[in-house]
């Protein structure tokens, strides 16, 4: 078991990483000391891990909420349901909420914990690669608005994160690939050496080699924790983590949140950001090819068929990253160095999106059975 | 105009206090620099001050939401409505929400600002005495759950508070008295000298003498700002500010939030806390009489008729101030010194409540036409 500290002053917390962590009652008893615990999870994760976790937690009073699966659960209504349960069970301010699941469960659980009685303790137990390498680090919680993603939420840090890498064994391949999109993103904006390492080990990762996976989870948490420690509330540098996300969120929103997994939309967004960076003279053709090759080897799409370009551009302008000064994008100066810049003119973006859609059509056709 | 700084590190902010502040475009232009501004107010305050404020704010894009009046607006549904409007108008992350009104508007506006895009700037313009001396200081925001008050919210600091003492001129006497309850509370827990000053100047205050009012607003903000700076998230000493609130919230909750104004319920709570403190040997009969006399001179009730004691005690046990270790109460060691203690046994509380109800019956009968 490894422990990594996220340094945020009085809001600092540890991330514990190791196989089999979920069942280690001794470790959990030290970390979850509340007498009242509510576990929030979903119908996919509950049959696999809920009983193990419930047994390992030593609270006097324990309840669980099992949500339906899917991004469409990220609503204010779900938050209201969780709060009703907390009140129903007479949960006090020193209670603890445990989010057992992927990014969606973490986002919901974290936001509910942040606003129940103005904030109770919460512990994240991420069970997807995406959650383990990305969403469990940094304290972003939110639900969606029908018109845009993650519009209602809070910056709220957990008291600890328990990452049991064994849970990845039960992850469907498509979900696993979606997590790799964020891994690749971290390497692209922050760490050229890690990108090269990924090029050399992508097959091991896809084969779920334990050593490669352990390294990837830890390295990603380190990279993300460092940037969050610098800029917790995303006033500046933290926005680098949004590489591919402005394109990606717009795609997800157009697809009604169920057409693409978040990581898949981000993967397409990364490819579009790379191509935009190339138009500005920062990346060359070879860089773009390497990036797309790595995304594809990870099992990810690099373009979406039948994009309605006008609607996509319109959704992008509603993105949280937009300010009164206009949309800002994360692009790449080179592999391993992200930059935050005012968006290039719409005609350039339109051209990049249209070209990417055409060029990649053959590849997409081949994917069309696994990715909708 | 006076300026007072609330010291909270990177979340520090100024409170500006002065007559006529609302119309001072120069002052407002320096403080509200966002290009997009949403003013949240209610149907009582809007006809009085909205036009003045709108004219003084120099934002490119300005909208207003006028809520119905009353505590029953403090729901998650209202938050959702405000967020819909922010999205509808395409408000970005660098937008600003201005809460123009009393404690209810501030609580709603602050919570909406805290969770829109995980937090946008918000400015408080308190127009009631209660908001000016209490709720605008300290960053507590929340809405109610049908079963308990302020259960859903956030600690979220404004970027500044603009207190125009002229707005008190239009405040109904009952609302004004309700604000005095919090003033008296601050003196009781923190400042014996200020309590004595209040005893000497309560008539001036009730007559709305400008100099006395100006002093009271500033002194209260100082007292509250100091305690908030020490303990922003109410892990310890800040809980002193809850004197009278555990009784008070339970009373409000039993009355369905429209029987008592918050300050009236707190006033009854203060009297009950004083009598409980006397049972424990900390206050004497004379102290209790002075406290009740001051509350009465301020136009406040010190007991509620027909209290259903069982239901009141049950509601108290659901209070946010309760922990898994049991209910904690704020009581008085002496006038000017509050303490946070485990609740005395229920039989003592029951006896205090029943006695207070009987002893004060005559007085209540006299009040019954102005206070329901």
- The DSSP output letter for B325 is T
- pLDDT at res. A269: 96
Q: What is the pLDDT of residues A197-243, one digit of tens each?
A: 999 999 999 999 988 999 999 999 999 999 999 998 888 899 999 99
The whole-angstrom distance between residue A158's C-alpha and the CA centroid of its chain comes to: 15
- pLDDT at res. B370: 47
Q: What is the distance between the alpha carbons of residues B59 and B89, in angstroms, rounded to a whole number?
A: 14
Q: For residue B317, is pLDDT > 90?
A: no
Q: What is the distance between the alpha carbons of residues B245 and B252, in angstroms, rounded to a whole number?
A: 10
- pLDDT at res. B148: 81
- pLDDT at res. A124: 97
**Sign of dihedral through CA atoms B194, B199, B333, B241?**
negative
- pLDDT at res. B372: 42
State mean pLDDT over B315-321. Answer: 73
- pLDDT at res. A326: 79
> Which of B147, B150, B154 is the closest to A154 by Cβ?
B154
Q: For residue B128, is pLDDT > 60?
A: yes
Q: How many residues does chain A have?
A: 372
First to last CA, chain B: 38
Q: For residue B371, is pLDDT > 70?
A: no
Determine whether A182 is an active site residue: yes
pLDDT band at A148 (very low <50, low <70, confident <90, very high): confident
CB neighbourhood size of B173 (10 A): 11
- pLDDT at res. A369: 47
State mean pLDDT over B265-286. Answer: 96
| pTM attached to this predicted model | 0.89
Which residues of chain B make contact with A322, given a CB cutoff of 8 A? 92-93
For the domain spanning B2-169, the CATH number is 3.40.50.1970
Q: Mean pLDDT for chain A?
A: 91
**Sign of dihedral through CA atoms A321, A325, A326, A330?**
negative
- pLDDT at res. B1: 85
Listed range (A309-313, A365-369, B172-176, B324-328) with the worst mean pLDDT: A365-369
Cβ separation B320–A117 shorter than 8 A? yes
Listed range (A328-332, B224-228, B356-360) with the worst mean pLDDT: B356-360
Determine whether A192 is an active site residue: no
- Using the Cβ of A76 and the Cβ atoms of chain B, whether some distance falls under 8 Å is answered with yes
Q: What is the pLDDT of residues A44-75, one digit of tens each?
A: 999 999 999 999 998 999 999 999 998 889 99
State mean pLDDT over A102-111. Answer: 97
First to last CA, chain A: 38
Q: Where along chain A do its domains lie? A: 2-170, 173-367
Q: Which residues of B183-220 are buried (b: 16+ CB within 10 A; e: fewer)?
A: bbbbbbbbbeebbebbeebbeebbeeeeebbebbbbbb
Give me the phi and psi of A370, to 5 degrees please: -90, -40
Listed range (A18-22, A144-148, B316-320) with the worst mean pLDDT: B316-320
Top-ranked range on mean pLDDT: pick from B143-147, B192-196, B341-345: B192-196
Closest CA to B168 of B21, B34, B271: B21
Determine whether A245 is an active site residue: yes
Q: For residue A361, is pLDDT > 70?
A: no
- Using the Cβ of A308 and the Cβ atoms of chain B, whether some distance falls under 8 Å is answered with no
State mean pLDDT over A247-261. Answer: 81
Which residues of chain B make contact with A60, given a CB cutoff of 8 A? 324
Which residues of chain A make contact with B117, given a CB cutoff of 8 A? 151, 153, 320
| Alpha carbon of A173: minimum distance to chain B alpha carbons (Å) | 32
Cβ separation A95–B324 shorter than 8 A? yes
- The DSSP output letter for A315 is H
Q: Which residues, in sequence order, are CB contacts of A274 under 8 Å at separation 6+?
A: A188, A283, A287, A288, A291, A292, A332
Q: What is the distance between the alpha carbons of residues A220 and A133, in angstroms, rounded to a whole number?
A: 5
Q: For residue A372, is pLDDT > 50?
A: no
% of chain B with per-residue pLDDT over 70: 94
Residue B133, class by beta-carbon neighbours within 10 Å (0-12 exposed, 13-18 middle, 19+ buried)? buried
Residue A296, class by beta-carbon neighbours within 10 Å (0-12 exposed, 13-18 middle, 19+ buried)? middle
Q: What is the distance between the alpha carbons of residues A207 and A129, in angstroms, rounded to a whole number?
A: 14
- pLDDT at res. A10: 85
| Alpha carbon of A18: minimum distance to chain B alpha carbons (Å) | 31
- pLDDT at res. A260: 86
Q: What is the pLDDT of residues B10-69, one digit of tens each?
A: 889 999 999 999 989 999 999 999 999 999 999 999 999 999 999 999 899 999 999 999
Q: Mean pLDDT for chain B?
A: 91
Q: The domain at A173-367 falls in which architecture?
A: Up-down Bundle (1.20)
Residue A28, class by beta-carbon neighbours within 10 Å (0-12 exposed, 13-18 middle, 19+ buried)? buried
Spatial contact of A37 and A31, defined as CB atoms under 8 Å apart = no
CA atoms within 13 A on the CB side of B65: 23
Q: What is the pLDDT of residues B68-119, one digit of tens each?
A: 998 899 999 999 999 999 999 999 999 999 999 999 999 999 999 999 999 9
Give the position of tokens 């973006």: A349
- A2-170 CATH fold: Rossmann fold (3.40.50)
- pLDDT at res. A257: 60
- pLDDT at res. B356: 87
- The helix (run of H) or strand (run of E) holding residue B164 is strand B160-164
The whole-angstrom distance between residue A281's C-alpha and the CA centroid of its chain comes to: 29
Which residues of chain A make contact with B159, given a CB cutoff of 8 A? none
Q: For residue B353, is pLDDT > 80?
A: yes
> Which of B80, B147, B151 is the closest to A116 by Cβ?
B151
Structure tokens at A258: 């169920």
CB neighbourhood size of B331 (10 A): 24
- pLDDT at res. A190: 96
Q: Are strands B140-145 and B13-18 parallel, antiparallel or unpaired?
A: unpaired
């Amino acid at each position: 078991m490894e422990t990594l500290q996220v340094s945020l002053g009085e809001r600092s917390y540890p991330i514990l990483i190791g196989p089999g962590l979920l069942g280690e009652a001794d470790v959990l008893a030290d970390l979850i000391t509340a007498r009242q615990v509510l576990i929030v999870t979903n119908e996919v994760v509950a049959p696999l891990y809920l009983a193990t976790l419930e047994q390992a937690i030593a609270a006097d009073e324990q309840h669980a909420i099992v949500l339906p699966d899917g991004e469409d659960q990220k609503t204010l209504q779900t938050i209201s349901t969780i709060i009703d349960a907390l009140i129903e069970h007479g949960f006090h301010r020193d209670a603890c909420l445990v989010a057992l699941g992927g990014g969606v469960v973490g986002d919901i659980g974290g936001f509910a914990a942040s606003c129940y009685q103005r904030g109770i303790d919460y512990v994240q137990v991420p069970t997807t690669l995406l959650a383990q390498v990305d969403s469990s680090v940094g304290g972003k919680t939110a639900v969606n608005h029908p018109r845009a993603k993650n519009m209602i939420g809070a910056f709220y840090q957990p008291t600890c994160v328990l990452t049991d890498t064994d849970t990845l064994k039960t992850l469907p391949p498509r979900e696993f690939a979606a997590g790799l999109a964020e891994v690749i993103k971290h390497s692209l904006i922050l760490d050229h050496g890690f990108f090269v390492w990924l090029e050399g080990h992508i097959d091991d990762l896809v084969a779920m080699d334990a050593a490669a996976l352990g390294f990837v989870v830890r390295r990603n948490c380190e990279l993300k924790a460092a940037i969050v420690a610098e800029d917790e509330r995303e006033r500046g540098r933290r926005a680098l983590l949004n590489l591919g996300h402005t394109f990606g969120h717009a795609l997800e929103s157009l697809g009604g949140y169920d057409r693409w997994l978040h990581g898949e939309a981000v993967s397409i967004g990364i490819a579009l950001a790379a191509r935009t960076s190339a138009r500005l003279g920062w990346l060359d053709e070879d860089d773009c090819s390497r990036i797309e090759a790595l995304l594809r080897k990870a099992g990810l799409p690099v373009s979406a068929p039948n994009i309605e370009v006008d609607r996509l551009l319109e959704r992008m302008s509603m993105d949280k990253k937009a300010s009164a000064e206009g949309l800002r994008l994360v692009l790449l100066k080179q592999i391993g160095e992200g930059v935050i810049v005012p968006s290039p003119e719409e005609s350039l973006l339109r051209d990049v999106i249209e070209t990417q859609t055409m060029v990649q059509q053959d590849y997409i056709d081949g994917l069309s059975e696994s990715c909708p």
